[in-house]
Structure 1
Amino acid sequence: MAFRTFGWVQNPSDFTKLKKTVQVFDPQSKQYEELDKHIINNVIYFDSDKERLQEELDNKVSEFTYGDLVGTSRNKEGKSPKKRKDAIANSLLQVTILPQSANTKGKFYTDNWTADGFLRWAVSLDFVSYNREKDLFKITELGKKLSQTADGSAEEMEVLQDAMLSYPPATRVLSLLAKSKQPLTKFAIGNKLGFIGEKGFTSYNEDLMIEWLKSAATKKEHDKIKSDVEGTSDKYARMIAGWLSKLKFVKKHTNKYELDDGRTISGFQTYSITGQGLHAIKRANGASKNSTKPKYVLWEFLAIAGKQDSEQTRDFVRTRRAKIIVGLSHHHTISALIDFLSNEGIEVDESLLNSEIKKLISFGLRIKQNGNSITLQDNVVGIDIPNQTFTPTEADLDSERIKNHYRKITNLPEKYIELLDIAFDHHRHQDFEIITAGLFKECYGLSSIHLGGQNKPDGVVFNSNFGIILDTKAYEKGYGMHINQIDEMCRYIEDNKQRDRIRQPNEWWNNFDDNIPENKFYYLWVSGKFLPKFNEQLKQTHYRTGSNGGGLEVSQLLLGADAVMKGALNVNNLPTYMHNNVIQLV
């Protein structure tokens, strides 16, 4: 049995190509005919692939395997290519979804990664159904309806709009825009979209990103921040808003930001709901559950990855969420839902259940909660839970227990609790930098600017009384002493002291408040865990610069943020903890 992921699509945006993807499954379509008569023979490279696919089309087969549709990445020798351009065509969707440069470069096929994206999109919108038992795909009734519409017709638009209103993440975006009095950036949307606080659903703080964009020293840096730096949920938000714009439900806006020197720069795009979009989301939500537009949800929509990228953990989480949705159909109190889940072999406490409910809401389901009372306001269709028991890894269970403990003892947003995982994952160093900076801004109430880039610290944190040079380190086993990173921090400290434009042309220190006294600057390393050798790094940094600072483990970073939010810790007292050791705030 194959277990794939659907429901979350990052790159496909062309509805014409989506329609062609759907038509691959329709023997009555023009695309199917073109594949059968010309394309397979002319574009598929290996004879074995050509013969197999040609036979299927000659026999009007309309149900295909994942391999037939998406193919693999192979070169002419049948090996993995060193460059993407060396890959050959070996699947139906690769030769259906043509790159924009097809006519100019003569390459009439795409890569398997793009093919997979369009297949996911077609499944997510219920144009193509998936049989996980056999790993087969076929067209749905809605897909047939789309396939048979005239290109560019009002009927085609109506089918696409109708499908989008059954897709929970799209209705989530529309609902957020409908409630907002002003256009929203992808960050404002992404912050409230998807399974927040999990790998695969990261969102960056909007104010932090705008300030980082404003601080860019060069146009190249500005363009990179604007185009390439975003969390995964921010990217989903951008893609979905783009789809909705093409369907006339959303309008895009260009932005300008004014700098302190009077110059203006191009800012992040924003989105607002149109009158047609507002009417559509109101109609989809209906006056009662019986009149609402059904929400199409597959089990495969309900998670992307586990902490250790364990498929067992991922599929356990999918099943837990699917069982919650099913349970909400006939259980209308938290206590009754917990009992139902327990009878189904899913043990949760109220804290974990409330966390999952919030995530299902940000996924796009309308769930109303009032104390112990809870109501699913949507009619959910499509869920088919595998008859199989999934066992999470022990590491993932430990991680969930730790995070659930912090849910109980703090009032922190879920996306910051996820730092307990991010801080130990070196692949997510950018997430660690940006989300840590966001925590200082949102929860500590300090000014915080993410810098990053060459010859700059990860960020600066400050108010008018003190400033902190921030460096984050994500290490799986914990962070010890690294001589080159002592050198880096000492250089940043001296840069800030001397403020010599010739020594450091990017002048990153200008991001600090001008009123901070010269003797009130500190250094700070943040990591998941510090090893005993790290104390020597702190001593050497102090000895070489005369500056004070410290190290802050993520557990203390979170507890300190919660204490500040609750009024139990005065943020202006942070400098009193800077004694060149590992800091204990709480």
Structure 2
Amino acid sequence: MTISINYYPSKTKRFSTGLGQDVGSLRSMINILCVFIVNSKIQTEIKESFEWRFIDDDVLKEKLFNKLTTNPVTLTVDDLSAEQKKEPGKPASWRIKSILPAILKGQKPARNQDNTLATDNKGESFKSSMRQWPIRNFIGEAVGLGLLDWDRKTGNVTITTIGKKLANAPHNDDEELTLKETEIFQQTFISYPYAVGFLKALQGTKGLNKFQLGERFGFAGEAGFTSFGEELYINGMIEAYENNDQKLISQIRSNWESTSDKYIRGLANVLKKLNLVNIDAQVIPYTNKQTNEKEEFAIPIYKITGIGRQQLGIALGKSSHSRSTKNVTWDMLATKGNITYIRTVRALILKALSESNKLTSIELADKVNNNRVNKNQVLDGITVSPEEIEDHIAGLNGIGLQIDSDSSKVKKYTLVDRLADFEIPINAKDLPQKDQVQQQQDELRPMLKNVDHRYLQLVELALDSDQNSEYSQFEQLTMELVLKHLDFDGKPLGGSNKPDGIAWDNDGNFIIFDTKAYNKGYSLAGNTDKVKRYIDDVRDRDTSRTSTWWQLVPKSIDVHNLLRFVYVSGNFTGNYMKLLDSLRSWSNAQGGLASVEKLLLTSELYLRNMYSHQELIDSWTDNNVKHDEYFLKIEKQLTIK
């Protein structure tokens, strides 16, 4: 295997390959491959469609015709997916200017610009074309599966040997795959790391729902792979069903999905079609408050099949099977965030491991930091630490690759998989650099020996203002840390007229949590009345109020004297101390402001048995809010041997 570093002095083509959210039809995938077979049935359909649907541009049409009839067929992503610009307030045009819209259908009937139904050359109505975004996802997935090749410099797309094999296999006209198509697809998917990672996560379980999978699958805890919490989702659904709130039920089903959840659902549906996964139902019971009857709803649960276990065995080289070569591209090594830096570092780790066995994280960091291209360091002015290397390796294992470590005191890592050749692009216009989030994560990472590093994602989520919507990933991950690892009882709540979460302990301490994500810091302005209302709710226990979340709080807890409130955010700005002191006085309760950094560091102290619950709570509610007011003290505590 060869992993090459290629330098591009000018801007190159950008295109995401690998995991896609909208790729459900394997028949459509095959049809895309057939575009690259000269004189195929699909090419004939395209040419016929061009005759009456193509825009008034004979030059472009002739250019595409010529490309389709020239072996090997070589097309750009724009040749395949370009679309007419949609006019505001009008239907998408049914006229086409590229190849795949001629054969890939959307969901809605085609309409003219005056919104009347459009008719084809036979006077019959027809479906609109698939839009550019899902078409590009199909192409990216085909590249990730090794069915198509994409050239970064030219943007050209060509078919691979196995892609040609699938395109030339016996076909059905409907969605159902033939036996030969299924066999070839199974072969490609066990070479696709994400599919292998999915099956590995299911192996040895009785089935997992998408939230449980989200904790194991992919680059867990990273932007693009942070799943909504299972408890938060189920609690929200139970509440909606109990109150027969159909609008909220629909909203939760439609909107409570992270990118990771969508990936999981999409990949599971494809693997089901290949008989590798079954989708069953996890039944959740509840009591209908209007009828007082016991009822239930269900969420999907995914189980590996016998064929899935067999194919996974081939992917992992079990029994007498030769381990499948894994198709990796630089573009699939991160989906969100500072992707140029993250993808490059992960690719450099794979390059180092492909060239040498049994490397420690220190040796890997040295190799990654000293890679050169055109006599310059790839990571100029950047230092990747051994701790960061270990986190990236955990993520690479999470997407289905296998990097083993031995049992020695200083772990040595070995790449077990053989990888298909791929390139690491270094673009002069987009050099890998660490951003503010990664710099803060770097500072925290060496100190967090007991806190799972997936919670470093809180640093990024806390700066994302989109996380201020109800039931955000920021609030659920914060509450997961508190309830799952810090020995508090409680509940993640979220939603209107409720705190983001509540927690209590055996000493009777009770905490109300409110999470706030702001890129430039949070000031408390305009929010203190909400927290005061939450405090009044739990103290008054008035059943006539809009929300009765306080019924979850044990009556034995002294919420008048032992109640605390904690705001959690990336950082705080403005007159926050003045507003905090006002809320403390107004509510007659001690409260505080905990930055994500402080939350993580104090959690580490607790998990090292250096802090009690009382010391945790006191730290979260003291007046040391700014970095300089607490960091050096905690750092000193954590460095004591």
TM-score (norm: length of structure 2):
0.82
Q: Aligned residue for 1:374? A: 413
Q: Aligned residue for 2:7? A: none
In structure 2, what is the Cα distance between the partners aligned to 1:498 and 1:349?
52
* Match for residue 277 of structure 1 among 305, 308, 319: 308
Q: Aligned residue for 1:409? A: 447
In structure 2, what is the Cα distance between the partners aligned to 1:53 and 1:355?
46
SS at 2:150's partner residue?
strand
In structure 2, what is the Cα distance between the partners aligned to 1:574 and 1:382?
50
Give the Å deviation of 1:204.
2.9
In structure 2, what is the Cα distance between the partners aligned to 1:558 and 1:256?
35
In structure 2, what is the Cα distance between the partners aligned to 1:30 and 1:226?
40
Give the Å deviation of 1:576.
4.4
- Aligned AA (2:343): R
SS at 2:154's partner residue?
coil
Q: Aligned residue for 2:559? A: 518
Unaligned ranges ≥5, structure 1: 308-313
Give the Å deviation of 1:83.
6.0
Distance 1:30 1:499, change over 3 A: farther
CA contact (8 A) 1:463 1:513 kept: no
CA contact (8 A) 2:606 2:616 kept: no
Give the Å deviation of 1:228.
2.8
- Aligned AA (1:17): S
- Aligned AA (2:151): N
Q: Aligned residue for 1:133? A: 153
In structure 1, what is the Cα distance between the partners aligned to 2:75 and 2:435?
37
* Match for residue 390 of structure 2 among 346, 354, 358: 354
Is 1:241 matched with 2:282?
A: no
Distance 1:575 1:399, change over 3 A: closer
In structure 2, what is the Cα distance between the partners aligned to 1:184 and 1:144?
35
CA contact (8 A) 1:331 1:337 kept: no
CA contact (8 A) 2:198 2:217 kept: yes
Give the Å deviation of 1:512.
2.9
Distance 1:61 1:285, change over 3 A: closer
CA contact (8 A) 2:232 2:493 kept: no
CA contact (8 A) 1:450 1:460 kept: yes
Give the Å deviation of 1:46.
4.5
SS at 2:101's partner residue?
coil
- Aligned AA (1:196): A
Is 1:177 matched with 2:223?
A: no
In structure 2, what is the Cα distance between the partners aligned to 1:579 and 1:400?
27
In structure 1, what is the Cα distance between the partners aligned to 2:246 and 2:554?
24
Q: Aligned residue for 1:311? A: none
SS at 1:381's partner residue?
coil
Give the Å deviation of 1:90.
3.0
Q: Aligned residue for 2:43? A: 32
Structure 1: 4+ residue segments shifted above 6 A: none
In structure 2, what is the Cα distance between the partners aligned to 1:290 and 1:255?
34
In structure 1, what is the Cα distance between the partners aligned to 2:93 and 2:512?
46
* Match for residue 187 of structure 1 among 211, 224, 231: 211
Give the Å deviation of 1:254.
0.8
In structure 2, what is the Cα distance between the partners aligned to 1:271 and 1:461?
32
* Match for residue 492 of structure 2 among 450, 455, 459: 450
How do 1:196-275 and structure 2 match up within 5 A?
196-216=220-240, 217=243, 218-259=245-286, 263-275=294-306
Distance 1:388 1:466, change over 3 A: same
Q: Aligned residue for 1:508? A: 549
SS at 1:535's partner residue?
helix
CA RMSD of aligned residues (A): 2.8
CA contact (8 A) 1:169 1:364 kept: yes
CA contact (8 A) 2:21 2:263 kept: yes
Give the Å deviation of 1:336.
4.1
CA contact (8 A) 2:149 2:160 kept: yes
Q: Aligned residue for 1:420? A: 459
- Aligned AA (2:276): F
Moved more, 162-171 or 268-277: 268-277
* Match for residue 498 of structure 1 among 537, 540, 550: 540
Give the Å deviation of 1:174.
0.5
Unaligned ranges ≥5, structure 2: 1-11, 111-116, 118-124, 372-376, 635-641
Q: Deviations over 1:89-136 (max 9, x none)?
A: 332222322124459973331211111111112111111110111011
Is 1:99 matched with 2:112?
A: no
Distance 1:578 1:376, change over 3 A: closer
Distance 1:357 1:134, change over 3 A: same
CA contact (8 A) 1:526 1:554 kept: yes
Distance 1:471 1:393, change over 3 A: farther
Give the Å deviation of 1:86.
5.8
CA contact (8 A) 2:228 2:256 kept: no
Give the Å deviation of 1:186.
1.0
CA contact (8 A) 1:256 1:264 kept: no
Q: Aligned residue for 1:43? A: 53
Relative contact order, higher structure (CA 8 A, sep 6+): 2
Q: Aligned residue for 1:68? A: 79
Distance 1:376 1:578, change over 3 A: closer
- Aligned AA (1:476): N
Give the Å deviation of 1:54.
4.2
Give the Å deviation of 1:291.
1.7
Distance 1:219 1:100, change over 3 A: same
Q: Aligned residue for 2:3? A: none
- Aligned AA (1:508): W
Give the Å deviation of 1:540.
2.5
SS at 1:291's partner residue?
coil
Distance 1:293 1:193, change over 3 A: same
SS at 2:106's partner residue?
coil
In structure 2, what is the Cα distance between the partners aligned to 1:31 and 1:107?
17
Q: Deviations over 1:162-190 (max 9, x none)?
A: 1110100100111111132x210111112
* Match for residue 530 of structure 1 among 565, 568, 572: 572
CA contact (8 A) 2:503 2:510 kept: yes
Moved more, 51-60 or 543-552: 51-60
How do 1:148-159 and structure 2 match up within 5 A?
148-149=168-169, 150-151=171-172, 152-159=177-184
In structure 1, what is the Cα distance between the partners aligned to 2:613 and 2:157?
56
CA contact (8 A) 1:89 1:110 kept: no
In structure 2, what is the Cα distance between the partners aligned to 1:278 and 1:306?
34
Identity level (%): 28
SS at 1:408's partner residue?
helix
Give the Å deviation of 1:393.
7.0
* Match for residue 383 of structure 1 among 422, 430, 435: 422
Q: Aligned residue for 1:118? A: 138
Distance 1:289 1:230, change over 3 A: farther
Give the Å deviation of 1:408.
0.9
Moved more, 512-521 or 362-371: 512-521
Q: Aligned residue for 1:570? A: 612
Give the Å deviation of 1:533.
0.5
Q: Aligned residue for 1:310? A: none
Moved more, 246-255 or 296-305: 296-305
Give the Å deviation of 1:233.
2.1
In structure 1, what is the Cα distance between the partners aligned to 2:442 and 2:320?
32
Give the Å deviation of 1:269.
1.1
In structure 2, what is the Cα distance between the partners aligned to 1:122 and 1:405?
39
Give the Å deviation of 1:460.
2.6
Per residue, is there more helix in 1 or in 2? 1
* Match for residue 324 of structure 1 among 341, 349, 356: 349
Q: Aligned residue for 1:471? A: 514
CA contact (8 A) 2:216 2:398 kept: yes
TM-score (norm: length of structure 1):
0.89
